[in-house]
């Protein structure tokens, strides 16, 4: 579960500061749910101080070796489907994130891998994708 610390509203997108109530980790996540095609719900219902069940996607690329910009991820579930998209459920330390399976194209899949991400996206809040 995550508590919303702060919502920074933009014209089309928002940045949301979240606190993981289980691990104490703070994440700044990108929310572009209001830009998704009509027919999908967005995350406008979220409020500062509210507590929500959130799924966070990492955007980036796998690295073959450890670099100063990559982190070690542990794949804990290689077959997660959210909406119609396939993901890896991964751990970074004690925190759970999701990575597109397509990002591993051309890589030998191992339990522990290196990943360089450039941003974190809010992809699901409670039961809303």
Split at pLDDT 50, 70, 90, the class of 45 is: confident
Whether 9 shows a pLDDT value over 90: the answer reads: no
Task: Report the distance separating Cα 5 and Cα 123, nearest Å.
Answer: 18
The fraction of the chain above a pLDDT of 90, given in percent, is: 74
Average pLDDT, integer, range 110-126: 94
What backbone torsions phi and psi does residue 74 show, to the nearest 5 degrees? Answer: -110, 120
Burial class (CB in 10 A: 0-12, 13-18, 19+), 82: middle
Least confident span in 5-9, 34-38, 96-100: 34-38
pTM of the model: 0.90
How does DSSP assign 6-44, residue by residue? EEEE-SS-EEEEEEETTT--EEEEEE-GGGSPTTS--ST
Say whether 55 sits in a helix, a strand or coil. strand
What are the pLDDT digits (tens) for 77-109?
Answer: 999 999 899 999 999 999 999 999 999 998 989
CB-count exposure of residue 43 (10 Å: 0-12, 13-18, 19+):
buried
């Amino acid at each position: 579960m995550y508590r919303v610390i702060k919502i920074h509203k933009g014209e089309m997108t928002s940045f949301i500061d979240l606190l993981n109530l289980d691990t104490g980790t703070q994440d700044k996540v990108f929310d572009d749910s209001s830009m998704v095609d009509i027919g999908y719900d967005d995350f406008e219902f979220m409020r500062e101080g509210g507590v929500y069940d959130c799924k966070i996607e990492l955007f980036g690329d796998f690295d073959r070796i450890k670099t100063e910009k990559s982190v070690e991820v542990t794949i804990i579930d290689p077959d997660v489907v959210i909406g119609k998209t396939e993901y890896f459920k991964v751990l970074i330390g004690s925190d759970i994130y999701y990575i597109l399976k397509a990002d591993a194209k051309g890589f030998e899949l191992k339990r522990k891998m290196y990943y360089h991400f450039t941003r974190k996206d809010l992809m699901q809040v409670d039961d809303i994708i």
